Amino acid sequence: MAVASVGANDACPEGHALPNRAADLELAAITKAYGETIAVDRVSLKIPAGTYCCLLGPSGCGKSSTLRMIAGHEFISDGDVMIGDTVVNDLPPAKRGTAMMFQSYALFPHLSVRENVAFSLKMAGAAKAERLKRADDLLALVDMTRYGDRLPAQLSGGQQQRVALARALVTNPTVLLLDEPLSALDPFLRIRMRAELKRYQREFGISFIHVTHSQEEAMALADMVVVMNDGRIEQVGSPREVFNAPKTVFVAKFMGGHNVVPEGGKSYAVRADRIKLARPGEAGAKATVTDVEYQGMTVHVALTREDGTDLLVTLAETEFDRAPVSVGDTVSVGWQPADRHELAA
Amino acid sequence: MATASTTREEKRPGSFYALSAFFALFVVFLYGPVVTILILSFQGPSGGLTFPMNGVSLYWFERLWSGRGTVDIGSAFQRSLILGLTVMVLTVVISVLAGLAFRKKFFGSTALFYVAIASLIVPSIVVSLGIALEFRILDDILRPLLYQIGLLSRRGNSLGLFTSGLGAHLSWTLPFGLLIMFAVFNRLNKSYEEAARDLGASNWQSFRHVVLPMIAPFLIGIALFGFTLSWDEIARSSQTMGSTNTLPLELAALTTTVTTPEIYALGTSVTAVSFTVIFGTLAAFVLLQRRRQRRALAD
């Protein structure tokens, strides 16, 4: 499948190209207000050095504003951002030790790939030979040496991403900030570049903070998932923790694969693949099949329970074939008590 | 069926021919006058203002440019050229600065924008009269004061090519420049500037190395607009040039007095300048693009 060639071009990074300057990052009750609207509401978070952290949430949840406040592209209305031992609130972006990769990469269209990568060195006044040499080192690191003379428009989306990465890394950042870096790519490339991002993060050892609205992306990449909603953090944890033990109804719904079931005035989450179907009359609640979707390895069965609750059940193909159901059938549905999680609100 | 070897041709509807004819008429109307004047300006020495051509010569051009004829074209030509170039440069500079300013939100920006654009609605001749009047009033009030401190002579007026004239032309070109600049900056993603800042560029460096190269092609457009609008402006020039005349004013005056093809030669010369400026700039632009691409590939 698509994930296949992670290290298709395994250029070993040279030690001297990127000295490890990883540092902890801490957000202390940072707030972003636009007039009356609060986009980010007292968000506190600690990201240890060398973490792949995903800020995950629907659009408008404040994840991008949070990232931009860390980067220094957005004024911090209240609270502190600390990188290492420094409060960076009032420092310009380039002095924070962060580097940002923009959503559509924002490669300068009038400059060659090499000049793009060397841009920050030029701004700092480095001599031409020196900065081009360094740019070449970085391009080698992301295996783009051959394309140094091209203009960005002459590159594919994946190649542009690598150039953007090289350009950001040339500043020796302690934290790399990525704003929906994969959203400009087609689905196939997205999965490939996702694997590359993870590999680079491992190799460089610095923290990556990656904003995304795709839970699939977050689960595939992150050491630490931060689920955000409405300007607040809903839950922080490893992908497994967040997926297997969602704390709130929002997280359960947003992560997908969960049914939110009301029982006795409380809400519970039950994973779609933990629900068991049986012939009517056997133990469990009665439900009607409303839809059956074939997905290849799995089959999705949508049900409506007698009390009106909609449920989604994911069955392995073989499991489904053992007792096939079709729309309109009545079945019995249930789950083990241990597979059910109580949710807050 | 066996004979179906000829490819079928799609039939055009009758409306196609009607509309084509209409378009042809439009083109004739657009370029006919220019072509007519162009041809007639090569009229023989004994030829008149209309067809038929009485021989072909450069006689009227010679007469025009030698200054022997009825038209004093040299100084008017120079004045118009210098004024046009000045207006061009100022329009570009001011439009870019204004465009940059409007990229940030500030109090009253929308109102200011509409005020700047709405001035285009006022008839040019009224604007011209107004400016002239304004200068007279200012002369009445300020001249005595400035005379006191020895800056100006007591009498005279301040109407002139580079005072009221320049202002009148800018009042015409700036709204256009601003409109184009707005369209340009609307399409320029802010993340380019943010990326530059992220990479340590100062505001000036971000403008110089990122924004300016990216908007440069459009600036050429604004420059052309600025020059051509000024070069052929009559209405706004009419009351504001003081004792001097620009080329279009000269030309307008001559239409009533000159009875030889010399005026056609003048018309052809004026058009030639416009064309030279436009195509020269476009050629420079194309060359620049090519060089940039070559450099990117050869570097």
Residue B218 has pLDDT above 70, yes or no: yes
Q: For A73, which of B194, B292, B298 is closest by C-beta distance?
A: B194
Q: Which CATH superfamily is domain B72-257 in?
A: MetI-like (1.10.3720.10)
Contacts of B219 in chain A (CB under 8 A): none
Range in A273-282, A328-337, B1-10, B178-187 the model is least confident about: B1-10
pLDDT digits (tens, 9 = 90+) for A30-88: 999 988 899 999 999 999 999 999 999 999 899 999 999 999 999 999 999 999 888 99
In chain B, which residue ranges form alpha helices assigned H by DSSP?
14-40, 59-66, 73-103, 109-118, 124-148, 166-187, 190-198, 203-206, 212-231, 247-257, 262-298
Instruction: Select the more confidently predicted residue: B297 or B234.
Output: B234
What ipTM did this prediction achieve?
Answer: 0.82
Q: At A265, list the tokens.
A: 């005035």
How many angstroms separate the CA atoms of B6 and A175, rounded? 69
Give the pLDDT score at A33.
92
The pLDDT value recorded for residue B70 is 60
Percent above pLDDT 70 for chain B: 92
Residue A12 has pLDDT above 60, yes or no: no
Q: Do the chains contact at A149 and B194, CB–CB below 8 Å?
A: no
CA distances from B94 to B100, B164, B167, B173 (A): 10, 18, 13, 10
C-alpha B88/C-alpha B228 separation (Å) is 9
CA distance B215 to chain A (A): 10
- Nearest residue to A165 (alpha-carbon basis) of A49, A56, A13, A48: A13
In this structure, are residues A91 and A72 in contact, taking their beta carbons and an 8 Å threshold? Answer: yes
pLDDT per position as a tens digit, B168-207: 899 989 999 999 998 899 888 889 999 999 999 999 999 9
Give the nearest partner residue to A102 out of B194, B293, B298, using CB atoms.
B194
**For residue A99, pLDDT beyond 60:** yes
- For residue B297, the model assigns a pLDDT of 56
DSSP structural state of residue A133: H
Tokens in use for B195?
A: 């990326």
What is the per-residue pLDDT across B65-105, written as a single tens digit (0 to 9) for each? Answer: 776 666 567 788 888 889 999 999 999 999 999 999 888 88
* pLDDT tens-digit map of B129-158: 998 888 888 888 888 787 777 777 766 677
What pLDDT is stored for residue A281 in this prediction? 74
Which DSSP category does A213 fall into? S
Residues A127-168 have pLDDT tens digits of 999 999 999 999 998 889 999 999 999 999 889 999 999 999
The alpha carbon of residue A112 is apart from the nearest alpha carbon of chain B, in Å, by 6
Q: Does B217 touch chain A (CB under 8 A)?
A: no
* In this structure, CATH architecture of domain A271-343: Beta Barrel (2.40)
Selected residue with higher pLDDT from A275 and B159:
A275
Nearest partner of A277 among A321, A247, A226, judged by Cα = A321
Each residue's pLDDT tens digit, B15-43: 999 999 999 999 999 999 889 888 888 88
So what's the pLDDT on residue A10? Answer: 36
Residue type, B114: Y
Per-residue confidence (pLDDT) for residue B264, from 0 to 100: 83
Tokens of B168: 């009148």
Q: Could you tell me where the beta strands, DSSP code E, fall in A75-162?
A: 78-83, 86-87, 98-101
d(CA A205, CA A223) in angstroms, rounded, equals: 13
Cis peptide before B52 (omega within 30 of 0): yes
Cα nearest neighbour of A166 on chain B: B199
**Dihedral pair phi/psi, residue A222, rounded to 5°:** -80, 145
Whether residue A110 contacts residue B292, with contact meaning beta carbons closer than 8 Å, is answered with: yes
Size of interface A-B (CB pairs under 8 A): 76
CATH architecture of A15-244: 3-Layer(aba) Sandwich (3.40)
* Calpha distance A171→B90 (Å, rounded): 39
Same fold, A15-244 and A271-343: no
pLDDT surpasses 60 at A13: no
Residues in CB range of A326: below 8 A, 6 or more apart: A289, A292
Between chains, do A103 and B191 touch, taking CB under 8 Å as contact?
yes
Bridge partners for A343 per DSSP: A267
Judge whether B198 is closer than 8 Å to chain A, CB to CB: yes
Contacts of A76 (CB under 8 A, 6+ apart): A30, A31, A32, A69, A89
Domain ranges across chain A: 15-244, 271-343
Of residues B242 and B220, more confidently modeled: B220
Residue in chain A closest to B195 (alpha carbons) equals: A106
Question: Which residues of chain B make contact with A94, given a CB cutoff of 8 A?
Answer: 197-201
Q: Looking up tokens 């007095």, which residue turns up?
A: B257
Task: Write b or e for each residue in B221-248: b if 16 or more Cβ atoms lie within 10 A of its Cβ, otherwise e.
Answer: bbbbbbbbbbbbbebbbbbbbbebbbbb
Per the CB < 8 Å rule, is B292 touching A110? yes
Instruction: State the Rg of chain B over Cα.
Output: 26
Could you write out the DSSP letters of every residue in A35-67? TTEEEEEEEEEEE-TT-EEEEE-STTSSHHHHH
Provide the shortest C-alpha distance from residue B299 to chain A (in Å).
6
**Per-residue confidence (pLDDT) for residue A15, from 0 to 100:** 42
Which pLDDT score is estimated for A163? Answer: 95
Give the nearest chain A residue to B291 (CA atoms): A110
